[in-house]
Every structure is written in C-alpha cells, then in structure tokens.
Chain A
Amino acid sequence: MTILIFKIILVLAVFGLTMLIAMYSTWAERKLSAVMQDRVGPNRAGPMGLLQPLADGIKMFTKEELIPEGSNRFLFIIGPGIAMLTALITGAVIPWGGDVSIGGESFALQITDINIGVLYLFGVVSIGVYGIMIGGWASNNKYSLLGALRASSQMISYEIAMGLSMISLIMMTGTLSLREIVAQQDAGFANVLYQPLAFLIFMICAFAETNRAPFDLPECETELIGGYHTEYSSMKLGLFLFAEYINMFISSAIMVSFFWGGYNFPFQHELGLSPNALATVQTVVFFLKVFGFIFLFMWVRWTIPRFRYDQLMNLGWKVLLPLSLLNIFVTGVVMYLTGKLN
C-alpha cells in the first residue's frame, strides 16, 4: 500500500516537474537566444521575465480555436494529444535518483523499473511521430502534409541510427533496464568514456527526433510556415510546442542516464551522507546534468542553420548508419579481445 502511495506521489511529482521544466525551457530558450544575439529577451512580465511562461499559457488558452473546414475533426483534435501523451509517458522509466528510505522501507526514485526499459523508450518514441503525422495529415493543408511527411521520414531514418548506436551500449552493459545501466556507471566510469561515438550518434539522432534545429525541417517556418502545425491554433498549438520542449527534457534525461552516469557523481560514496541525503544530492546532480543538455540543445539551435532535406537524409543513411554499424563491430571485437564476451 505504501509503495502505491509513494508511486502515485512520484508520478505526480514527475508530471509536475516535467511540465514546470518544459514551461521554463521556453523562457530559457528565449532568454538564451536573446543573450546570444546581444539582446535582453523577455523582461517585462515579472522579474527577469520569469512570469512570461504563465502569460504565454494564458494567451494560448484564451485564443480563438480554429478547426479547418476540410479537416478530419477527430484526428485533428487527437494529434496534439498523442504528441503530448507520448512525450509525457517516456518519463516513467527514467531513474531520477538513488533509493530513499521512508519509515524503514526503501523506495527507488523511478516510477517503474521494467527490465526492457530501453525497448519501452524506443517504442514510445516511435509512437511520438504519429502525433505529428496525424496532426499534419488531418489539417487538410499542403504545408502541414509536407511537414508531416518530412517528420515521419526523418524520424524513421534517425530512429535506425539511434537504435543501432544503442546496441553497442547494450552489448557492453548487457542489460535493457535503465536502473541497471545507471548502477553499472556507479561502479565504473560513465559510459561516454567507453562509447564516445555511440554517444555522438545518439545525440545527433536525439536532435533529429525532437525536431529541433538543425533538424527542424518538419516545422521550418521559412519554407513550410510552421509545417505540421500550420493550421493549429490556441492550446492545441500550445500542446504541440509544449510536447517539443518535454521531448527535449526527456531526451536530455535519457542521454544523461545512458551515457553520463545518470544520477551518479564522482566520489559520491566517500562523502559519508545518509541514504536520503545522498538520494537528494543525486537527484539535484541528475537535474544539473539534464539542464546542461537542455542548454546544449538551445545553444545548438541558435548557432547552426537548418539542413537541406537531401543533406539530412545523406547524414542519416550514409553517415550515421554506417558509423553506428562500425561502432557495433568495433565494440564486438574489443569485447572479444578483452574476454568480456561469454
């Protein structure tokens, strides 16, 4: 019973935190783009513009909602819902921190530790494209359709390289459970030291999967006028945009868990902290790492111009795919030579 209550609290906490971080990512994005362009950014709503996300939310909710006449009403409404749903449920398998003990019982700071966590993640991420595809197709607009087509082909192409780059990591760790992958990095070093190429490929694919610059072709404002969300207005547009920020946060969390040691930090057991204090510090460290990656996402967006479509496909199929295959091969050979293969 206590475990159920704990999990419910954890689910709500993760949901709230995800929403909060996605909200303030929009603020951070605007602020960061501003300082990178020698501007000031939002500074009128509250101190340092901190109430800007709230103002944006109120604006989104109170705007007039338009559903185009030729659209498929049901699919049009369900599109942003799917995008948001898939973005949110990925957070379920991410280990947010170590174990906490409440009243003598030990709880893991993870909503569920399924033994195929990695497969779950990839499965949910694959569904994520449906939100965009359905939304773009149901809009009955050629720009939306083009955006949806681009999104689906791009996401499918990059998912392959992403999955293959993960295989070399899974070969090394020998497990599909995220908690175990993170725990192994506590004992040894962060996986990025063993698999730098896999990390690079995974990161590039994560940029493509979240539809962020330089891979924001499904929604490029300049050619497709917003792409798949051209016809969307009010909070349905807000959900699409929000889902993108949640995806960015979750991708950062996944990259931290897979490659950068998750919630672990060097010399954590030498500090002599009590288990609960250690778990708290670990969670803070985890979020600091995640914020670092969110910063990287934004930094890249405001630096690099968008790819051309053929360049995007070339990079995915002719560069990243062979590289990830090579990485698997090299990993296998090294494991065989060092006798880790059994």
Chain B
Amino acid sequence: MTNDPNDKFMLTNRSKVMEKKQMTLAERLYLPAIAGGMSITFRHIFKKSATVQYPEQLRPIAPVYRGHHVLKRDEAGAERCTACGLCAVACPAEAITMTAAERKKDEENLYREEKYAAVYEINMLRCIFCGLCEEACPKEAIFLTDRIIPSNYGRNGFVFGKDKLVETMDNPVDVTKRQTPAVIEFKKDKFHQHNITINDLVDLGEH
C-alpha cells in the first residue's frame, strides 16, 4: 500500500497525510504558541456571551413549538376526549395511558360524549413530543402547546395526569397556531397517505 491518497477509497478529500518531522526551535520554545493561545482567550473577553438568563429571559421558540400537552374542552366547557385510545396507539414512545369510563346522567356538562377518560396520563419522560397523538386524535382533543415541561425532583412528578393536562375553564389554552384551517382540512383529506386506513383502501379497490 502506498501513501498516495488516490489509491484507497476516500469519502472526502479533507484527510491530510501526516509526516513526522522535527519541531522547529520556535515550536520547541512553546512561547509563540502560548502567546497565540492567550491572544485567542483575550479576544473572547470582548465577545458577547451566549447565555440566556433563563427564568427571566426566554429563548424565542417557534409558534408551532411542541411542548406540554393540553386536553381541550369544547365551547360549552365539556371535555372533548372520549378515551378512544387512538393517541395511545399512535404514540411511538408509549407514553400515554388512559382508563375509560361511562358518563353518568348528570354529567353531560362535564363530558362531551357518552364515554370519557377517567384517568389520562402522559409520562413526560417517555414522551418525545412528536405530535403523533395530536395527529391521531379524531376529536380535536389533544394538542401540544408552546409551554415547557418544568423540572421535577422525582420521576413520578413527570407523569402528568388530568389535573395538569386538561385546560381549566377560566384559563383556556390557545391552540390556533397548531390547529390552523389548513391542518383541519388536511386531517379530513383521506387521499393523503397518512390518513388512509385499510378500509379506505378496500373501498378504493386498490388493495
């Protein structure tokens, strides 16, 4: 094998052929190199710091940021979630668990449909904030918002139940950034590959 770089397969042409040579006197003195290094650190004194003073100052985030989930209520204030479990099925990280319950006679104002989620938990340590739950939801009940998950002292503290997920009546969470008309239209469109189910394919005679 020769030292010619053309002889072997190379991904880039950036590799350098190193030759072993004696250091020059200036190199062996170290002092020029030290002076060079010190001038670099000195120049950095005058550079702007990259720090963001976090609690007071927030980094700008995208309007469609995917953070802390919210379980929406409808206009009358009833929970939209029907505990169908599609979000849990769609979740690639298996972060969502729920227990369904039947709505009682006098609970019509609390839950939109006959079935509702008695327990709905998202493990925020498992969640990868991909947004597939939001995409899977047929009832427009779950959305990701631009809120950041706060830190916690224990793992159990990261399992968010309905107390943290469902929006309160007096403080509704705005999800119009993620629920744009285009998105609503897109979710209805059965011709988009990701919305097609097996049954649709059977109907279309393509299967």
Could you list which residues of chain A lie within 8 angstroms of chain B, going by C-beta atoms?
A: 32, 34-40, 299-300, 302-304
Contacts and interface: CB of A to CB of B under 8 A. Distances in A.
Interface stretch (B47-55, B82-90, B168-176): B47-55
A37 B37 contact: no
Contacts of A35: 44-45, 49
Nearest to A200: B31
A303 B48 contact: no
A314 to B, nearest CB: 11
Contact of A302 (B41, B48, B51): B41
Contact of A299 (B42, B50, B53): B42
Interface string B25-45: 000000000100110111011
Contacts of B40: 303
20 contacts: A32-B45, A35-B44, A35-B45, A35-B49, A36-B41, A36-B44, A36-B45, A37-B44, A38-B49, A38-B50, A39-B49, A39-B50, A40-B53, A300-B34, A300-B38, A303-B34, A303-B37, A304-B34, A304-B37, A304-B38
Interface residues of B, number: 14
B207 to A, nearest CB: 58
A299 B47 contact: no
A36 B49 CA distance: 9
B38 A299 contact: yes
A302 B47 CA distance: 16
B41 A40 contact: no
Interface of B: 34, 37-38, 40-42, 44-45, 47-51, 53
Contacts of B50: 38-39
A295 to B, nearest CB: 10
A36 B47 CA distance: 8
Contacts of A36: 41-42, 44-45
A304 B34 CA distance: 7
B47 A38 contact: yes
A300 B38 CA distance: 7
Contacts of A38: 44, 47-50
A23 to B, nearest CB: 22
Pairs of residues from A and B, 6 with the lowest C-beta to C-beta distance, nearest first = A40-B51, A303-B41, A36-B41, A303-B37, A303-B38, A35-B45
Contacts of A303: 34, 37-38, 40-41
Nearest to B44: A36
B37 A40 contact: no
A300 B30 CA distance: 13
Given A35-B49, A302-B41, A304-B37, 10 more contacts: A35-B44, A35-B45, A38-B44, A39-B50, A39-B51, A40-B51, A299-B41, A300-B38, A303-B40, A304-B34
B34 A40 contact: no
A272 B48 CA distance: 44
Contact of B49 (A32, A40, A304): A40
Contacts of B51: 39-40
Contacts of A300: 34, 38
A299 B38 CA distance: 7
Contacts of B49: 34-35, 38-40
A40 B45 CA distance: 11
Contacts of A40: 49, 51, 53
Nearest to B33: A304
A145 B139 CA distance: 68
A303 B44 CA distance: 11
B161 to A, nearest CB: 34
A300 B34 CA distance: 9
Nearest to B36: A303
A300 B41 CA distance: 9
Looking at A38, A39, A302, A303, the one whose CB has the most chain B CB atoms below 10 A away is A303
A36 B34 CA distance: 16
A302 B37 CA distance: 10
A39 B52 CA distance: 9
Contacts of B45: 32, 35-36
A296 to B, nearest CB: 9
Nearest to B39: A303
Nearest to B42: A299
Contacts of A32: 45
Contacts of A34: 49
Contacts of B38: 299-300, 303-304
Contacts of B41: 36, 299, 302-303
A36 B45 CA distance: 5
